[in-house]
Structure 1
């Protein structure tokens, strides 16, 4: 009897343990399923928010392109910082999300790709670039080496029609350091053309000082301050005003119209935020419309 009782007790104990184990197992599986469901729902929600944020960013980009097209239709002869395109849009609630953005005029900067023309190295633009490097703290000898290095890079890639696309690509050219590229970033651009017609109404003081012979940086800042009060009407107006300071410019260096703009748009929806950079080309002669064409775009 005693052994039967012990066996029965052991079997009952084992049954209880198995039951508890089964309950624990089921509870664990249920917890995992609920957790996975939560992750899946968060993933789906995140994907949805990201898609909505991208849609808002595209809407903001279309708005920017429309502003540029409207500006050209209303005043195709001149571009300056007093126009609607130059106004930054602060974070603004829209469609259950938020968006902001700004347009920067790239035609007021020195075009790195103009260092080489169809027939070969462009000595005039190389001289401007060397001076611009010097104004950014690069010693004269080093500045000439850097300018030559960019020309050699462009000449080497010319058979494949490869140009610099982004200013940061300078880092792949011998001699350029992150510090130099950072300092240059507000004064130069990598545009899809060999031309270097600088908009005098939007050019920074450093660019003016580099492109106008004998123009000091202090006087360039004075010219910029005067310009921002009264915009240059055309290249002749710039020439006349510089003549008052006993300075001369080449007529082919400057204009007062802009072709290239960098649009930076930001959009937020739910838990997702999108930042997009787009280089726009507003050239009705090429595209048959004032609606700016997209040269490249980056989603960051």
Structure 2
């Protein structure tokens, strides 16, 4: 009897020990689960806070864009030469403190560039190569130091990318050329929406893009851009050479810009009267492509807000009445 009781008590102790181990194991599992749950909760809170911070920074950037629109209209309407008088090459730079950060903005004239989309003309919704524009592009490349052959190849490839047909121009590139690449793709056969698309066009290597980028831009239409005589920089002289063509060398173009009157040119007729153009017979269409008012502005806005940073670049187009509209918007680094 004693032996049976001993076995019973011993068995009960074993069961109690097993139950204790089981409880301890459950507590450990629950503790780990709770730790993981709290960690996930903390991560979710941080993520939600970061998203909210980024959204607020983005809204501040859009607010900066709205201020840039108002500033662009003010510059156009009150004093068309304000950029030239106020160091227009650097543009208008402003900074505003925020509760938790700062917003910085720069507004500069974006009129002085070669519109890539102007390489084609629109006829009944069809884009066809504009030979005169192609020649202007070739002259631009030559003024920058490219050989005529290289500039012609770039102009042809770029025009083929934009025109509506699939027939390659001499030295150009169409679907067949891009289909042989890996990965393969097709020519757009339409206007560019952003200058970053240049990376897809044959011949526009990173080196070529970096070389030409300061002189190129993309607008929503195929219309050539009217240069602003009052904000042209000496380094922009190749754009003037490309426009005028034969008879104007780079040195004369630089002189016309460098010798701009202190108060700027009153009108384009005053600009064309500069001695650099003496003896040149200029078509009225060429003369009309230089003005003394900005046609577009670039607004570069940077927002630092707590741990978020937002970069916004907007292109603002100006109508004949001075009204400004956003025609392109690109958000940059956000981290």
What does residue 190 of structure 1 align with? Answer: 218
For the pair 1:134 / 2:134, whether they are aligned, the reply is: no
Distance in 2 between residues matched to 1:47 and 1:96, nearest whole Å: 16
Partner of 2:259, secondary structure, is helix
Q: Give yes or no for contact 2:268–2:287 (8 Å, CA) kept in 1.
A: yes
Residues 3-30 of structure 1 deviation map (CA, whole Å, 9 limit, x = unaligned): 3343233223212212221221221122
The TM-score normalised by the length of structure 1 is 0.85
The TM-score normalised by the length of structure 2 is 0.77
Cα deviation for residue 221 of structure 1 reads 3.9
Deviates more, 1:64-73 or 1:114-123: 114-123
Distance in 2 between residues matched to 1:106 and 1:75, nearest whole Å: 17
Partner of 1:206, secondary structure, is helix
What does residue 327 of structure 2 align with? Answer: 295
How many residues are matched? Answer: 293
What does residue 200 of structure 2 align with? Answer: 172
Partner of 2:102, secondary structure, is strand
Match for 1:15 among 16, 19, 42? 19
Distance in 2 between residues matched to 1:248 and 1:187, nearest whole Å: 25
Distance in 2 between residues matched to 1:162 and 1:64, nearest whole Å: 30
Residues 172, 144 of structure 1: alpha-carbon distance in 2 compared, 3 angstrom cutoff:
same
Question: Which ranges in structure 1 are unaligned for 5 or more consecutive residues?
Answer: none
What does residue 85 of structure 2 align with? Answer: 82
Partner of 1:107, secondary structure, is coil
Distance in 2 between residues matched to 1:295 and 1:70, nearest whole Å: 18
Q: Give yes or no for contact 2:85–2:263 (8 Å, CA) kept in 1.
A: no
Distance in 2 between residues matched to 1:277 and 1:257, nearest whole Å: 21
Q: As a proportion of its length, which structure holds more helix? A: 1
Cα deviation for residue 68 of structure 1 reads 0.7
What does residue 266 of structure 1 align with? Answer: 302
Q: Give yes or no for contact 1:242–1:248 (8 Å, CA) kept in 2.
A: no
Distance in 2 between residues matched to 1:166 and 1:235, nearest whole Å: 30
RMSD: 2.9
Question: Which ranges in structure 2 are unaligned for 5 or more consecutive residues?
Answer: 167-187
For the pair 1:211 / 2:216, whether they are aligned, the reply is: no
Distance in 2 between residues matched to 1:104 and 1:117, nearest whole Å: 28
